[in-house]
Chains A and B, each alone.
Chain A
């Protein structure tokens, strides 16, 4: 299960549509399991595609929607009626909508429609299942449930799946590998752990979460911020001015004489057992610090911040 992750306009959907055969690449090839599929027309590519807005056939019942791909086959390859019915029944069980076979899509909720779109795509036993922002149009709770459910189905069927998302949590939770795209370029491919622990560029880093950017100096393998050493080591061959990036939880409050950054507390709020504090810095960008939810800091209080982790890029 691969996630295509990137900001809007980064080319995720275009890439997915090229894989499906709905759009055509200017260069390069599409290879499915060793076979070149670049010139295979969309009808014969044997992919399953789930659209963000479902694209169900409104004038057909749920069962007819799911059976559509099987009924569309040439007579010699089409399963018998009873077999089609059995497979539709199995898929309805899989998506937990067994009693809904004779409903029309307009009678269903968004989450149910999305599940039917998925069953319709799975019915033809595709080589690759492609999902275009599959949960984008759903509300937060339904989205969470569907996510977990999709992962279950994936674990059970082992179906090769590629999905597009701009939600990093979704990508990190659901996928085995994440491909981060930016402005039509593939920035990094790796497991969720790899892209989080070893991002290859500031773009990947910034896209995966809140980031603090600090001017620093690399010197003799050390990274200095405001003349004070940090626990980070500079990459080989890097010296002079560099950029240091850190996550909100890689900053700690510290006494003024050991701190790398100084500022005043602008506001703080609690979320899910943690405290997030916005700190204004003179002549620099406001930073967000995440700390355990204990002592509350008064607004306007002067604080010092120490960097305990992060990444260095030229």
Chain B
């Protein structure tokens, strides 16, 4: 073996699994054409405004407030969806009860539903004269036409992500590991917080990131329930649509680019935390 001429670079290791070159090329082409090309066009369009122009759009009070609403509420909603989604996933995986399969299928409904349908349903439910909205109004909470409505819609559409990402890991939890913890004298709560939950953290973060991304990008279901009051319950994607309908293409792409940048940074941060937690919790 030492006599054999060595390849200069060991970029590709010899392997029995074929198709590395082909699949890598395919992947890069797809990423380029389907993802990067449209994004580049978007950036090019916005660049027509120049850095100062983009900055002017970003600091416009109405835009800034819309961005705050979009990202702030998305984060809150993703957090809520992660917690409740985690509980839903736990119950659906760990316990067997009549109707479990049905409940499991219901989780996917927000995926499948056209977002406008979800929006109309939520709006009519949470409107001041709706079934839930009227009850909430009695205790002084206005759900529809406020950021609360946006929050509700985002939790609704984000929930499936939070459930589906942690479910497989919950299913994998080894019963013996829990028993080992109990035998070693740990209380049920200690077993949960120290043995059962830590390995789930990377998956929970994935679910959180997906729910967050979906929340930021959501349009259809939110505009029906949000009320869309400038400075209060107007989301950034709606502002883009408004700009477009006013033929302000560059302004629209500027907002889009800003959203893109914030989303990218946020998702990158979540990914880094995730990579750290994977190492921390022994997924080597």
- The answer to the question of A104 belonging to the interface, with a C-beta cut-off of 8 Å to chain B, is yes
Nearest A residue to B191 via CB reads A72
Q: Are B176 and A55 in contact (CB under 8 A)?
A: yes
Nearest A residue to B198 via CB reads A59
- A55 contact from B174, B186, B199, B283, Cβ within 8 A: B174
* Total chain B interface residues with beta-carbon distance under 8 A: 22
Residues of B within 8 A of A20 (CB): 183
Interface of A toward B, CB cutoff 8 Å: 20-22, 42-49, 51, 53, 55-60, 68-69, 72-73, 104-107, 120-121, 124
Q: Are A57 and B185 in contact (CB under 8 A)?
A: no
Q: Are A73 and B180 in contact (CB under 8 A)?
A: no
Q: Are B184 and A68 in contact (CB under 8 A)?
A: yes
Residues of A within 8 A of B180 (CB): 49, 51, 55-57, 120
Given that A59-B198, A104-B282, A106-B284 are known contacts, is A68 also in contact with B177, CB under 8 Å in the complex? no
Q: Are B282 and A47 in contact (CB under 8 A)?
A: no
Q: Are B282 and A59 in contact (CB under 8 A)?
A: yes
- The answer to the question of B42 belonging to the interface, with a C-beta cut-off of 8 Å to chain A, is no
**Bound Cα distance from A127 to B179, whole angstroms:** 18
* Chain B 26-60 interface 0/1 with A at a Cβ cutoff of 8 Å (1 = within): 00000000000000000000000000000000000
**Bound Cα distance from A57 to B183, whole angstroms:** 13
**Bound Cα distance from A49 to B186, whole angstroms:** 14
- The answer to the question of B182 belonging to the interface, with a C-beta cut-off of 8 Å to chain A, is yes
A12 CB, min distance to chain B CBs, angstroms: 16
- The answer to the question of B195 belonging to the interface, with a C-beta cut-off of 8 Å to chain A, is yes
- B183 contact from A42, A73, A104, Cβ within 8 A: A42
**Bound Cα distance from A22 to B152, whole angstroms:** 43
**Bound Cα distance from A22 to B280, whole angstroms:** 30
**Bound Cα distance from A179 to B281, whole angstroms:** 41
Q: Are A124 and B184 in contact (CB under 8 A)?
A: yes
Residues of A within 8 A of B183 (CB): 20-22, 42-43, 45, 47-49, 121
B181 CB, min distance to chain A CBs, angstroms: 7
B136 CB, min distance to chain A CBs, angstroms: 41
- The answer to the question of B106 belonging to the interface, with a C-beta cut-off of 8 Å to chain A, is no
In the A-B complex, the 4 residue pairs with the closest CB atoms: A69-B184, A59-B281, A55-B176, A72-B186
Q: Are B184 and A107 in contact (CB under 8 A)?
A: no
**Bound Cα distance from A69 to B194, whole angstroms:** 12
**Bound Cα distance from A105 to B185, whole angstroms:** 21
Residues of A within 8 A of B283 (CB): 106
- The answer to the question of B190 belonging to the interface, with a C-beta cut-off of 8 Å to chain A, is yes
- The answer to the question of B13 belonging to the interface, with a C-beta cut-off of 8 Å to chain A, is no
Q: Are A58 and B184 in contact (CB under 8 A)?
A: no
Given that A59-B199, A72-B185 are known contacts, is A106 also in contact with B176, CB under 8 Å in the complex? no
**Bound Cα distance from A20 to B182, whole angstroms:** 10
